[in-house]
Amino acid sequence: MGISEYDGAWFIEGWQLGETPKKLTLADCEQLEKNCWYHCQRDAAGLKEWLSAVGVPSPIASVLLSDDTRPRFEQLEDDIFLLILRGINLNEGTNPDDMLSIRFLYFRGSLISTRKYPSRAIAEARRQYEEGKGPANLIALLITIIDKLNRNIEIFLDPIEEKIEYYAEHQDEADSQSLADLNKRLLKIRRFLTPQRYALDDLIQSEMYELEAWRIPLLNCRDLVIRINESINFYIEQIQVVNQHLGQIQSEKVNRNTYLISLISIIFLPISFLTGLLGVNIGGMPGVDSAASFWAFCIALGAITLFEIILLRRMKFL
């Protein structure tokens, strides 16, 4: 089947790299050319057929097209490897911490990338080539995209870091729901960044000849992921500290209120006993026939209350 015979909606953009990058058209995709980058829409019709037509084995194509994959690196042959990464979803109307997946297949001198949602890191690389700039070879392009994915995560975390630091310094202004939301977002990002670090480790340790000259830039990318992971772990620990402080404040309030209620109960217990006793509606109650009895009883209650307060103060309960 020729490429003109099926829908080309899967083809987003392609470039032949070099000192002067050349933009590829759909007609240039009849076969894979060395030092060419093919960026594809993962969920569009026709992509699977095209991958088969250009010689990509079916199991590899299935990974490129699967809906849910964790970051990983697999060296399939001496000149074939698969790299799956995650990046912050910065598209309008989406939740950034629902991280988007970018898959790369380095296939015998060509690079195929697939996406479901647009990636700002990919868009920046495409814009560089539109301006006649950009890396001159595929490994350099891959490193550039990896670095941009990581930098975008770092930029996304900056305001979260500021919020956590503010709450850490002004713990009385923190609230449990805001902290829980921040903690949830960080946990979702960490879920993918931890395997992303291992994927880059495997990429660095691979024995592919094409990667030999790029170990240091790859190490820098890996170190950035490690630093981001360490920052996220630190933020989560800070949130736990602030949450503990909020719990202590809440516990102190409950204890203080319980203590106050207990003191009030102690003060009014004898008064309640006396009023209950004298409220019994049976014969023989003292003072029933005297108009001054009520006021004498009130004075006695006041005296008892004053005595209890003085006693509690001397015992340092008040």
Domain ranges of the chain: 3-248
CA distance 166 to 267: 44
> Tell me: the pLDDT tens digits for 90-109?
887 777 777 889 999 999 99
User: Which tokens in the block code for residue 215?
Assistant: 């170990």
Q: Write down the pLDDT at residue 245.
A: 79
Question: What is the per-residue burial (b if ≥16 Cβ within 10 Å, else e) of 239-276?
Answer: beebbeebeeeeeeeeeeeeeeeeeeeebeeeeeeeee
Q: Write down the pLDDT at residue 174.
A: 72
Do residues 71 and 84 touch, judged by C-beta distance below 8 A?
yes
Q: Write down the pLDDT at residue 282.
A: 67
> Tell me: the pLDDT tens digits for 4-57?
445 678 999 999 998 889 999 999 999 999 999 999 999 898 999 999 999 999
Instruction: With cut-offs at 50, 70 and 90, classify the pLDDT of residue 292.
Output: confident
CA distance 9 to 45: 7
192 to 15, 101, 161, 275: CA distances (angstroms): 29, 10, 19, 69
CA distance 252 to 2: 75
Q: What is the mean pLDDT of residues 282-287?
A: 68
Q: Write down the pLDDT at residue 10.
A: 92
For residue 289, pLDDT over 50 is answered with yes
Instruction: With cut-offs at 50, 70 and 90, classify the pLDDT of residue 224.
Output: very high
Considering only CA atoms, which of 15, 228, 1, 26 is closest in space to residue 111? 15
Mean pLDDT of the chain: 86
Do residues 186 and 160 touch, judged by C-beta distance below 8 A?
yes
Q: Write down the pLDDT at residue 33.
A: 94
Sign of the dihedral through C-alpha 182, 190, 37, 94: negative
In terms of DSSP H, where are the helices of 58-175?
58-65, 120-130, 138-169
Do residues 142 and 122 touch, judged by C-beta distance below 8 A?
no
Q: Write down the pLDDT at residue 5.
A: 47
Selected residue with higher pLDDT from 57 and 3 = 57
Which is it for strands 36-41 and 110-115: parallel, antiparallel or unpaired?
A: parallel
CA distance 304 to 287: 19
For residue 134, pLDDT over 70 is answered with yes
Q: Write down the pLDDT at residue 214.
A: 92
Superfamily of domain 3-248: CorA soluble domain-like (3.30.460.20)
Q: Which of 31-40, 167-176, 210-219 shows the lowest per-residue confidence on average (mean pLDDT)? A: 167-176
Q: Write down the pLDDT at residue 3.
A: 55
Q: Write down the pLDDT at residue 288.
A: 67
> Tell me: the pLDDT tens digits for 237-282?
988 888 887 777 778 788 888 878 887 787 778 878 777 767 766 6
CA distance 305 to 290: 24
The pTM of the whole model exceeds 0.85? no
DSSP for 141-209 reads HHHHHHHHHHHHHHHHHHHHHHHHHHHHH-GGG--HHHHHHHHHHHHHHHHHHHHHHHHHHHHHH---G
